[in-house]
Amino acid sequence: MKSDISELLKPEIIHSLSGLELIAKVVTEEMLHGLNASKTLGVGGDFNQYRSYQPGDDARQIDWKVYGRTERYYTKLTERETHVRVKFLIDASESMLHEEIGISKMDYAKVLVASLGYLTHLQGDALGLFALNESLLSFPVKTHQQYNHFLYQLDQITPSGKWVNDPATVAQIHNPKEKELIVMVSDLHEYNHEIYDVIKQLKTQKNEVLVLLISGNDERYFNYTGTIMFEELESNRAIKVNASELKSKYIEEVDQHIETVRDDLLKGGVTLQEFIMGEDLGKTLHLFLSKRKFLN
């Protein structure tokens, strides 16, 4: 993650609507600048792409609606024919309260979703927002013009309890009659495949499903020393371990588990990307664009 983004990733900034919007704009505009500098642009030709206006560009290609929302000039590189509904599904169970360097997984989830939501907003697609714990929290956002409302609802999400345990939940999230991209953000901490089962139910022939796995850097690479006590946030179960004795086996098993889940989901047409707290957000936005392209 670039230094100017890192400087913005502070709880007091993330937890304010203006701060969250600022982060989303900076992340997205950096990615758009990267597309402009790329020879291949990184996404398909039938996708409606933007880049910053440069002297000599055809002024007729300036998107004035985007200018009205961003006060920045962008030119359209291509046109696309259809719009889709993009729905964001956030794991709001208590394990998302895990913190590293004062920032929780939920904070990172909000930054990711705010950035992807802003990109969706620029593309003119409709937004939807859901949070899942032991109940389903739905925040309907019906048009692409409601990005500020989207941010407000995103800011209201507070992790608590466990993952939802109701098969009927999926029917409330996905509309099989609409062309949709569902982006699920979770740490995938589960007891008995309950998250995995929901993901499988979400995927249909008509939609695309992208799972963003959020892992803490210390959690992922076991950056601990000495004898430590781990406590599970959702069950309060605690275990004492010797970090040096466990580290290599822990990393090996986590690697294997993630690859197994990734392969199983891929067989069902679902893409999983791991995002480790502190990494560059750019690759996540690129993957989002590629999944959006498949629905054209």
Domain containing 134 equals: 81-294
Neighbours of 213 (CB within 10 A): 19
In a domain, 181, yes or no: yes
Mean pLDDT of 24-42: 62
The number of distinct structural domains making up the chain is 1
In a domain, 28, yes or no: no
User: 42-56, 111-125, 193-207: which has the minimum mean pLDDT?
Assistant: 42-56
- Please, are residues 282 and 30 in contact by the beta-carbon 8 Å criterion? yes
Dist. CA 286–CA 273, nearest whole Å = 11
In a domain, 70, yes or no: no
pLDDT given for residue 76 in this prediction: 65
In a domain, 143, yes or no: yes
Beta strands in 24-133 (DSSP E): 50-52, 74-76, 85-91, 99-100, 103-104, 126-132
For 161-195, write each residue's pLDDT tens digit: 888 777 677 778 888 777 889 999 999 988 888 88
pLDDT interval class at 281 (50, 70, 90) = confident
In a domain, 5, yes or no: no
pLDDT given for residue 91 in this prediction: 93
In a domain, 3, yes or no: no
pLDDT interval class at 145 (50, 70, 90) = low
pLDDT given for residue 50 in this prediction: 60
Instruction: Burial-class residue 227 by CB neighbours within 10 Å (0-12, 13-18, 19+).
Output: exposed
CATH classification of the domain holding 92: 3.40.50.410
In a domain, 148, yes or no: yes
Beta strands in the chain (DSSP E): 50-52, 74-76, 85-91, 99-100, 103-104, 126-132, 136-140, 180-186, 208-215, 227-231, 238-242, 271-276
For 203-261, write each residue's pLDDT tens digit: 888 888 999 999 999 889 988 888 877 776 666 777 777 878 888 888 999 999 999 99
Single pTM value for the model: 0.78
- Judged by DSSP in three states, 38 sits in coil
In a domain, 134, yes or no: yes
